[in-house]
Amino acid sequence: MNNGKAVVLVVEDSAIIRLGAVDLVLAAGYVALQASNADEAIAILGSRQDIDLVFTDVQMPGTMDGIKLSHYIRKRWPPVRLIVASGAAILEESSLPGGSRFFSKPYDDHSITLAMALLLSGEIPDGSTA
């Protein structure tokens, strides 16, 4: 937590969608960080100890998509909560790490902010063992 506020990393290759998601995170009262692909996200996660939640797209350029990124984060940083969104893929939540939430795009802003609040409060199990 940064000054008592949760820190949310938005991972999205589309700048317009990423900025919209950042605005959503800020409006919900959280600190927002951003990355345009999984490699940037991993670099940011590796350089900071205060990231509470990652909100990622599925389809992205680079070495891994959002699904692989979410599994990598769960293994490397188990306490980090995960929200995964996609405009193309409809995923079974079972293909994601435990405690992750999936949303189809276009997503409802209220649904995302509610999921963030529930994940960050611990009301939705985060799947971590920490």
pLDDT digits (tens, 9 = 90+) for 70-127: 999 999 999 999 999 988 766 665 688 887 898 988 888 999 999 999 999 987 654 4
- CA 121, CA 61: separation in Å to the nearest integer? 32
Q: With contact defined as beta carbons under 8 Å apart, do 11 and 58 qualify?
A: no
Asked if residue 12 has pLDDT above 60, the reply is: yes
pLDDT at 128 over 80: no
Within its chain, how far is the Cα of 25 from the centroid? Answer: 11
- Parallel, antiparallel, or unpaired: how do β-strands 81-86 and 101-104 relate? parallel
Contacts of residue 14, Cβ cutoff 8 Å, sequence gap at least 6: 57
DSSP H or E run through 56: strand 53-57
Contact present, 56 and 36 (Cβ < 8 Å): no
The pLDDT of residue 112 is 94
64 burial type by CB count under 10 A (0-12 exposed, 13-18 middle, 19+ buried): middle
> What are the structural domains of the chain?
7-121 (3.40.50.2300)
| pLDDT at residue 92, rounded to an integer | 63
In the structure encoding, which two tokens stand for residue 63, read together? 């070495």
With tokens 């949310």, the residue in question is: 8
Mean pLDDT of 5-11: 97
Q: pLDDT, tens digit, for every residue of 58-74?
A: 998 888 999 999 999 99
